[in-house]
Structure 1
């Protein structure tokens, strides 16, 4: 279990080391520009999978502490919506947004079902995600904002989901800076 640091919402140094959290976040540009808390492996992988079940926001705050400092104060966060029914949906993108404490809008909606991607190749994932998102009709007015926007997901693997979400938001006129996530696959 992650223990918060005595002076902040960050993880203690022992937990930071055990989980492999990177002090200023893990950053990259491939397959999309991203900021992650660390590599999706070992203890961080196990903790992310646990969080899907127990949804502990205090643990998320500790994991996302470094990510919070990389975001502009006026950043707009857009969680990636799940393709599953709400009862079975992945709660982490919305919870990550909450833990980061920035303005969050559910701008994206799934406009068609997709298959689970864990057994698909990168090429198959790209085809699977093509045209999977649309702008939520109730949120059209937000799409003329000049606010720096970040999409949010729990894990960045091939980038197919992130790329499709990013393209959908950019076509709607938003300035999308990249993806915020908990883990990046090695």
Structure 2
């Protein structure tokens, strides 16, 4: 597969019309640092649940979990399955500080969102990055969700507020927990900033990967209880149901 990420040529000029592809190192034929072939090879989501974007065998279906308990968020917009090479790109951006890879994914997500807006998706009033616990922020040095939200805000001309949502409780990492474990893990983990203006507004949460949706649902519940009109979720990738 030509999409194997390379370790070199991580610095590039975004304003150039042609530049090396960050995945195969060939010269691109687009304004983004990815060639047409590598972009086509990405694991595009395809048919999915109309509420949580879980990969589904055909279009127009709602998954069993959303039928049993409707999530607090209205819609998830996500371009890819969490599969190679997107999983490797997200991991290197999130844990190894490879910011050019994150910005490339954000640019492609922004392109996808722009198409959704043109097709009738409501534009949100604000983008809200999923907050990171202070301890994890100190360890990592940055919040990857806030970086994604800033890039999207610039590309889509939307306001972004990184301080409206707070993570007030340190919780163990979500990786390795099942859906119920993630929900328990997030109880009382989030709060709104003092004086947050929420009533009647449409927000879009921005994150890197949607797994069970527990984090997005907890934040959406918090916003809806405070009077938010609508909450959507924008993320880079969606994991399949375990075992699929």
TM-score range, shorter chain: 0.7 to 0.9
Structure 2 CA distance, aligned partners of 1:121 and 1:74?
30
- Where in structure 1 are there 5+ consecutive unaligned residues? none
After superposition, residues 67-82 of structure 1 pair within 5 angstroms as 67-71=113-117, 72-73=122-123, 75-82=125-132
- Per the alignment, residue 224 of structure 2 pairs with 170
Give the TM-score normalised by the residue count of structure 1.
0.83
- Per the alignment, residue 29 of structure 1 pairs with 51
Structure number with higher relative contact order (C-alpha < 8 Å, ≥ 6 residues apart):
1
Q: Which has the greater radius of gyration?
A: 2
- Per the alignment, residue 104 of structure 2 pairs with 59
Mapped contact 2:131–2:143 kept (Cα < 8 A)? no
Runs of 4+ with deviation above 6 angstroms: none
- Where in structure 2 are there 5+ consecutive unaligned residues? 1-21, 53-65
The answer to whether 1:19 aligns with 2:19 is no
Residues 58 and 141 of structure 1: CA distance in aligned 2, closer, same or farther (over 3 Å): closer
Residues 141 and 58 of structure 1: CA distance in aligned 2, closer, same or farther (over 3 Å): closer
After superposition, residues 1-186 of structure 1 pair within 5 angstroms as 1-2=22-23, 6-9=29-32, 11-21=34-44, 28-30=50-52, 32=71, 33-52=75-94, 53-56=97-100, 58-64=103-109, 65-71=111-117, 72-73=122-123, 75-85=125-135, 86-89=137-140, 91-101=143-153, 102-106=158-162, 107-137=164-194, 140-144=195-199, 146-186=200-240
Mapped contact 2:165–2:190 kept (Cα < 8 A)? yes
Q: How many Å apart are 1:41 and its aligned residue? A: 1.1
Give the TM-score normalised by the residue count of structure 2.
0.65
Mapped contact 1:60–1:99 kept (Cα < 8 A)? no
Residues 92 and 29 of structure 1: CA distance in aligned 2, closer, same or farther (over 3 Å): same
| Structure with the higher fraction of residues in strand conformation | 1
What SS class does the counterpart of residue 116 from structure 1 fall into?
A: coil
- Say how many residue pairs are matched: 182
